């Protein structure tokens, strides 16, 4: 796996985590 792909996956998972936290707070 290339570094760019690893960083992309990490950024995506972090973004999903933040989105999930916001949904939990609003819900």
Q: Break the chain into its structural domains and give their ranges.
A: 1-26
The confidence band for 1, taking pLDDT boundaries of 50, 70 and 90, is: low
The pTM (predicted TM-score) of the whole model is 0.62
Average pLDDT across the chain, whole number: 94
The residue ranking higher by pLDDT, 5 or 1, is 5
Distances (CA, A) of 2 to 6, 8, 10, 21, 23: 6, 10, 12, 29, 32
């Amino acid at each position: 796996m290339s570094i760019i792909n690893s960083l992309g996956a990490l950024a995506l998972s972090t973004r999903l985590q933040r989105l999930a936290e916001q949904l939990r707070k609003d819900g």
